[in-house]
Amino acid sequence: MLPTLRRSVLLLMYMGGGALIAGLVFPVAVSMETGTILGALLWLATDQWRQRQLLDWLRQFAESSDSEPQGVDKEIVLRVRRLLRQKNREANSYKSRLDNLQAMLQAMPNGVIVLDAQERIEWCNRVACEHFGLDARRDMRQRVTHLLRVPALVRALAARDMNNAFVVDGPLSSASNPLRLEMRLFSFGQAQRVLMLSRDITTIEQAEAMRRDFVANVSHEIRTPLTVLSGFVETLQTLALTSEERKYYLALMAEQSDRMTKLVEDLLTLSRMEGSSPPDMQEWTPLSRLFRMTMENARALSVLLSETETPGHQIVEEGLETSMEISGSVRELSSAFSNLVHNALRYTPQGGRIFVRWQPNGEGGARFSVEDSGLGIAPEHLPRLTERFYRIDADRSRNSGGTGLGLSIVKHAAQRHGAKLLIRSALGHGSCFSLDFPAERLRLPNRG
């Protein structure tokens, strides 16, 4: 009922009641009309007072109060209170669900941006801020295309392209710090809102590029000796050669096939190391045995390189007769030691000096180092030397039997044994390659 109507009805009723009361209580002193009016005004005042009390109470909505309403008002109050409690509970439950959802979206490894129908940012997670250089507070309610001037994104939003992923450069991407993002748009809700997802695919693209380079490099490395071999085969098949000439060609063929064998062996060594967990600490080997093997091979290579009966280099050994033992893979460790010594021999002209040292550091660890007086390396090459197939002088490397994988193998073997590879070199002044082994991998044998 409308308040005015209610009041009129009430007034009528009160007047009747008031007249009755006035007639009964004050039959002589007060006239009928005055009593009616007085009674009505009294009821009206009482009703107004109760309404105000109820309103005040509802405004405060006190859980418990000294002046709790009574009667019908009490029921109204109880029902309102119950309703409000229920609504509060619902609101709290929605809020906690919303908080959970936001926390979940924050924890996602992908960037998430929610746009309204006008493409203004409604919400974004931390990863999206990192991907696009956004500020979650400052950039709220801004049109995304004003903030991110990425043509592919502008096109996709304009076309409402919701099916196809597209790849963009992150706005903060640079040559030294590239950032490639795969993006996808989804529309949701009735208000044409858009969910923008971004995923960092920089490392995936880099790995893919490395894989392509690797396949191209391997193919190139194998194709060269193969071409030479097939040329010689043709020569042997078509030309009438003397036995001397045949011997010469067969020796050249053997050289090429050795080169391919060495390449395949190095590739297998690398893939074995990449595909397995680091060697455990159970197997202990005397280092002097490993060094003896390494140095025998080194002297043989030096003789081979000198093309005489004697080694072409002066090889100096220091501390290699150690009694220390090392734990790990004998095959990987001897491959690492040999690669370093062989490189020193291959990149040091005849007559040069090579020091091979084993130096305990006094704290249980020790350093294996190979220092040569050879060609040396310009500083710009140093950071890339351990990349597969990275060579400074490809011809020199190949002619001396190199595959371009030696230092890559050394680096992997070192990492798997907790050792660090250090390279010090100056162009024209020789190089020093060292491996620093941690104390956990070394021990002195128990002579007890």
Q: Which residues bind ligand ADP (CB under 6 A)?
A: 339, 343-344, 347, 372, 374-375, 377, 385, 390-393, 397, 402-408, 431
Structural tokens at position 109:
């490894």
How far apart are CB 432 and ligand ADP at their closest, in Å?
A: 9
CB of 407 to ligand ADP, least distance (A): 3
Within a 10 A sphere around the Cβ of 153, how many other Cβ atoms?
Answer: 20
Give bridge partners of residue 327 from the DSSP assignment.
284
325 pairs with which residues across the strands?
286, 443
* Nearest CB to ligand ADP, comparing residues 195 and 392: 392
HSE-up (13 A, CA, CB side) for residue 8: 4
What single string gives the DSSP state of each residue in 261-276? Answer: HHHHHHHHHHHHHHTS
CB of 295 to ligand ADP, least distance (A): 16
Give the side-chain half-sphere CA count within 13 A for 356: 26
Strands 314-318 and 353-360: parallel
Amino acid making up residue 132: F
Name 17's Cβ contacts closer than 8 Å, sequence gap at least 6: 39, 40, 43
Output the smallest distance, CB 102 to ligand ADP, in A: 50
Q: In the complex with ligand ADP, which residue's Cβ is closer, 217 or 235?
A: 217
The Cα–Cα gap between 286 and 306 comes to 31
Shortest spacing between CB 389 and ligand ADP, in angstroms: 8
On the CB side of 70, how many CA atoms lie within 13 Å of its CA? 2
297 burial (CB, 10 Å; 0-12 / 13-18 / 19+) is middle
- Cβ pair 288, 296 in contact under 8 A: no
Residues in CB range of 121: below 8 A, 6 or more apart: 113, 114, 115, 134, 139, 140, 141, 142, 143, 144, 147
Distance of closest approach, residue 370 Cβ to ligand ADP, in angstroms: 7
CA dist., res. 35 & res. 295, Å (int): 130
* Nearest to ligand ADP of 347, 358 (CB atom): 347
Whole-number CA gyration radius for the chain: 44
Quick one: 50 or 398, whose CB is closer to ligand ADP? 398
- Number of alpha carbons in the 13 Å side-chain half-sphere of residue 244: 0
Cβ closer to ligand ADP: 232 or 390? 390
> Of 298, 337, 338, whose CA–CA distance to 316 is shortest?
298
Q: What is the dihedral of CA 355, 360, 362, 364, to 10 degrees?
A: 160
Residue number with CB closer to ligand ADP (279 or 374): 374
Q: Which is nearer to ligand ADP, 126 or 262 (CB)?
A: 262
Rounded least distance, CB 392 to ligand ADP, Å: 3
Q: How many CB atoms lie within 10 A of CB 244?
A: 8
Which CB atom, from 347 or from 437, has the smaller least distance to ligand ADP?
347
Q: Name the residue nearer to ligand ADP (CB basis): 17 or 401.
A: 401
* CB closer to ligand ADP, 39 vs 404: 404
Minimum gap (Å) between residue 431 Cβ and ligand ADP = 4
- Whichever of 355 and 390 has its CB closer to ligand ADP, that residue is 390
* Contact status, residue 155 vs residue 172, Cβ threshold 8 Å: no
Looking up tokens 């390189």, which residue turns up? 305
Least distance to ligand ADP, CB of residue 279, Å: 22
Nearest distance from C-beta of residue 372 to ligand ADP, angstroms: 5
The pairing of strands 284-286 and 121-124 is unpaired
Encoded amino acid at 99, one letter? D
CB of 339 vs ligand ADP, minimal distance in Å: 6
Least Å from the CB of residue 375 to ligand ADP: 5
Cβ closest to ligand ADP, residue 113 vs residue 405: 405
d(CA 329, CA 343) in angstroms, rounded, equals 21
